[in-house]
Amino acid sequence: MKKTVIFLILCMLILTGCWDQDLLKDTRLAVGVGYDQLENGELLQTTDIRVPKIDSGGTGRPAMTAVIMKSTGATPRQSRMSLEKEVAGNYAPNKVLVYVIGEELAKKDIYPIFDVLYRYPRNSLGAKIVLAKGRAEELISLKIVEEKLISDALLKIIESGEDDTFIPRVSVQSVCPVLFNAGQDFALPKVEKSDNDQITITGMALFSGNKYTGVDVTTEDSGMLLILNNEESKLTRFNLKVNPEEKRKTNQYVNVHIFPNKHDIKISVSKSNQVSAVVRIRLKVHVNEYALNNLSSKKAVESLSKKINEQFTIKAQEVISEIQKANCDYLGIGRRVQAYYPKTWAAMDWNQVYPTIQINPKVETQIIETGIIK
């Protein structure tokens, strides 16, 4: 009996229960945050905060509603401190789904926006980052899109664009090493608010260093840029103009689903320290749609494969030219020079050299499926 009593007393001392807890009813969850630059140089923070409803609607589970709140400050932390003075509860940033950066703010060094996210341990490092055409405030203030609360809707749109290889997978955590790497640049998904208050993905916003260049790669070409950087998803589709001589427009195009099979980037440095790169990609192709419907012979398939290869090569050349003009080393050529040719790297100003180097794409395609009809 005494042993039992002693055991129970020890359990009471050791198992003290939850001493550190945040009750949902007392917490105000921030799930979406937007940052814009004001004319006076301060930041405008627009926050989507989830607040439990008093009435659960008969579901037995706590229902949530969105409250859009705005605050200003010289820094993100100060704007948050201003917001906390107005929030009726404990402000919690650890469940943020998405951060939205306004266009004008992104044209400045964006690291100061992220500094607090990396220093404060309870921030959400898995949160997505997107750039808004115009102001982030306009997106977050929509509150509801397609019967979904704004941050949930924005997250679903971003994830859909990632799965379709329209935009890269970018989070607070993934962008961190690139922000501190002089040999590689990055791009953020770009979205805009349409006239009917919907959200549309417009492409990839290119950055040089930590600043937005003002140049975007549209969704028509972003898939090729992601393939060149070995970032494709399962659903990677293209509509290619392979028969421009056809009078009927429908007959000019082929729609393909591609499966990258091989990816390689090789760097060369000449005796005069001239840097060049070759990007090789091998693609397996499924034909989804081809209105001419003349793929019954091996010769016809090979002819179409050659045309597809030519179109992919042109696309690759165009998108490489685009990122070089924007001085955005999205493919990480500089990082490879830094690793394999450190003396060459130390002797050059990469920001000046990169736009002038030769980057040659080499594309190989193979049609492996034409559908259930020939």
Question: Domain residue spans in the chain?
Answer: 24-218, 236-374
pLDDT band at 358 (very low <50, low <70, confident <90, very high): very high
| pLDDT over threshold 80, residue 373 | no
CATH fold of 236-374 reads: GMP Synthetase; Chain A, domain 3 (3.30.300)
Q: Is residue 155 over pLDDT 80?
A: yes
Contact between 131 and 158 under an 8 Å Cβ cutoff? The reply is: no
pLDDT of residue 49: 87
The answer to whether 290 and 254 are in contact (CB under 8 A) is yes
Q: Are 152 and 48 in contact (CB under 8 A)?
A: no
pLDDT of 260 over the 80 cut: no
Write the DSSP symbol of residue 292.
T
Q: 166 or 120: whose pLDDT is higher? A: 166
* pLDDT mean over 37-48: 93
pLDDT of res. 18: 56
2 three-class SS: helix
Most confident of 8-17, 226-235, 246-255: 246-255
Between CA 160 and CA 168, with CA 166 as vertex, the angle to 5 degrees is 90
DSSP string over 3-32: HHHHHHHHHHHH----SS---GGGEEEEEE
Q: How confident is the model at residue 26 (pLDDT cuts 50, 70, 90)?
A: low
The per-residue pLDDT for 27 is 66
User: What one-character-per-residue DSSP string does 114-166 give?
Assistant: HHHHHHSTTS-TT-EEEEESS-HHHHHTT-EETTEEHHHHHHHHHHHHHHTTS
Share of the chain above pLDDT 70, in %: 89
Q: What is the pLDDT of residues 167-176, one digit of tens each?
A: 999 999 999 9
**SS (HEC) of 301-312:** HHHHHHHHHHHH
pLDDT recorded at residue 261: 74
- What confidence category does residue 372 fall into, taking pLDDT thresholds of 50, 70 and 90? confident
Beta strand 187-193 with 148-149: parallel, antiparallel or unpaired? Answer: unpaired
pLDDT value, residue 162: 93
The three-class DSSP label of residue 34 is strand
**Between 62 and 122, the higher pLDDT residue:** 122
Handedness of CA 52, 140, 81, 122 (dihedral sign): positive
The better pLDDT of the pair 141, 261 is held by 141
Q: Is the pLDDT of residue 289 over 80?
A: yes
Cβ atoms 93, 65 nearer than 8 A: no
Residue type, 299: K
Report the pLDDT value the prediction gives residue 54, as an integer from 0 to 100. Answer: 63
Torsion of CA 6, 8, 10, 16, to 10 degrees: -160
Query: What per-residue confidence (pLDDT) applies to 22?
Result: 57
Examine the pLDDT at 51 and tell me if it is beyond 80.
no
**pLDDT of 201 higher than 60:** yes
* pLDDT band, very low/low/confident/very high, at 103 (cuts 50, 70, 90): very high
For 304-314, what is the mean pLDDT? 94
Is the pTM for the entire model greater than 0.85?
yes
pLDDT surpasses 80 at 335: yes
DSSP string spanning 60-87? SS--EEEEEEEEEESSHHHHHHHHHTT-
Greater confidence, 270 or 17? 270
